[in-house]
Chains A and B, each alone.
Chain A
Amino acid sequence: MFEIKNLKYKDILDIEELTLAQAVVCFMGPSGSGKTTLLRHLNRLKEPDSGEIFYHNKNIKTINPVELRRKVVMLGQTSVIYEGTIADNLQIGARFAQQTIPDHNAMLRMLELVGLNHTLEEGCYNLSGGEKQRLCMARVMLMEAETYLLDEPSAALDQNTEQFMIQNIVDFSKEKGRQLIMVSHSPQMKKMFPQGIVLLEQGKVREAIL
């Protein structure tokens, strides 16, 4: 759970008060409205010029950034694939965060949830853009975090695949008691999550249905 108070960042963000307590929250709004910048403030990839952000009532400035990022893990906009097989790519997040490495079954189940029909031993060079995005999503979801920040997780996917994957991911994280905070352009998200929409415009919260 995040609480944001009087957050200001350059002339990109200006948020007086915002509480993100829902299991699924979706930042929406036009390009350049500050969605990604806001998301990047939540794991201290960006530091505000003024104002405070609290995570479970603790000012995130007082939390070690690396520790925070292990609890609040993020999927970036660009799909980054590391050297090695699909299995290597699925395990690398847990290795970075020094967590238990996911086993064979957990990885297969996650590939199924994101709709990726490949074996674990395959290399990653032949994956399409959409497949790479889903592999990155699976990698992030395999990590033992409390909150997941997802920046445009379905940008490279068609409508059906998007709905399938997002629904599975949401069910999975609800089952595990985790929070999802997403940035999206997709109108479908609004339909899927009518409760939990933050609409940004020119760095301000125009509407929050929470």
Chain B
Amino acid sequence: MNSSIMDLSIYHLVFAYIFVLLLLVLSKIRGIRREKLIIIATVRMSLQLTIMGFVLMFVFKHPSWWLTMLMITIMLAFAIFNAIKRIGLVANKKLKQLMGISMIIGYICSATFFLLVVLKVMPWFNPQYCIPISGMIIGNAMTGIVLGANTLCSEMQAKRTEIENSIMLGATPKVATHKIVNDAFDSAILPTINNMLTMGVVSLPGMMTGQILSGTFPITAIKYQIGIMLAILGCTALTVIIFVTLGYQTFFTPSQTLDEM
């Protein structure tokens, strides 16, 4: 087996953009009207990754704790901003704040454990480990919390009459929303669990593929992949459980009745 990767030349990479062209043509012919979004997404993906490549090269060359922290802070801030944007108008202000807080706590707890206890990264801020792993954990937690928040908001709206009825019968808000909170949690972690079910059979995850392509021994790549999947599961679960167990309360007034929307 070749232990070093064959470098992908830019000219060859350009050929891959043919897939985007194909999609553009399809979108045009079928009148789906997504051409603008497809172009923006393609440009952003290419640009963001290229910049990230240069930034990572710089950070790897000059490893320091504050650069690592800065990178993680930017990633986390971007993820929180994006999650809040995706949940949109349906959520109240407190709920949006809570999304940010949950993601920060969820990330800090799971990343600290995974990087320092499981991987024993040395030095603790080693950018080669901290940055890509944080990116994966944060990205998945973001998807999870958006799904959870969507379910929470739509169910709180749809079951308003039922919740109010339970309150009238003397239920605490916690009991009256128990099922909704559980459903929101379930909807947030289910994609990660489903992903784990088929992993290794149907899908070879991106991180592992990247590692194998760049010459890492497959067993080593798989060990990392298992670790990172568990960290993703842990971070998503922690982030979402903090979010939903506190989040339902933002729908209630101090006198424990539903807030008027």
Q: Which of A's residues lie within 8 Å of B, judged by CB?
A: 43-47, 65-66, 69-70, 73-76, 78, 80, 82, 92-93, 96-98, 139-140, 143
Q: Given A66-B256, A96-B176, A78–B169 Cβ distance below 8 Å?
A: no
CB contacts (< 8 Å) of B256 on chain A: these are 44, 65-66
Asked if B161 and A96 sit within 8 Å, CB to CB, the answer is: no
Determine which residue in B166, B168, B176, B255 has the highest number of CB atoms from chain A within 10 A of its CB, and name it.
B168
CB contacts (< 8 Å) of B172 on chain A: these are 66
Residue in B164, B170, B255 whose CB lies within 8 Å of A76: B164
- Interface residue B165 (Cβ < 8 Å from any Cβ of A): yes
Q: How large is the interface on B (under 10, 10 to 19, 20 to 34, 35 or more residues)?
A: 10 to 19
CB contacts under 8 Å to A, within B156-188, are 161-162, 164-172, 175-176
- Interface residue B257 (Cβ < 8 Å from any Cβ of A): yes
Whole-angstrom CA separation of A145 from B257 in the bound complex: 19
Q: Given A44-B255, A78-B161, A82-B162, A143–B168 Cβ distance below 8 Å?
A: no
Asked if B255 and A73 sit within 8 Å, CB to CB, the answer is: no
CB contacts under 8 Å to A, within B74-116, are none
Whole-angstrom CA separation of A98 from B175 in the bound complex: 11
Asked if B165 and A76 sit within 8 Å, CB to CB, the answer is: yes
Residue in B166, B168, B176 whose CB lies within 8 Å of A43: B168
Whole-angstrom CA separation of A76 from B161 in the bound complex: 9
Whole-angstrom CA separation of A30 from B116 in the bound complex: 69
Whole-angstrom CA separation of A158 from B186 in the bound complex: 44
Whole-angstrom CA separation of A46 from B259 in the bound complex: 10
CB contacts (< 8 Å) of B168 on chain A: these are 43, 45, 69, 73-76
Asked if B169 and A140 sit within 8 Å, CB to CB, the answer is: yes
Report A90 CB to chain B, min CB distance, Å: 12
Residue in A66, A78, A97 whose CB lies within 8 Å of B165: A78
Residue of B with least CB distance to A46: B257
Going nearest first, the 3 A-B pairs with the smallest beta carbon separation are A97-B170, A96-B171, A70-B170
Asked if B162 and A80 sit within 8 Å, CB to CB, the answer is: yes
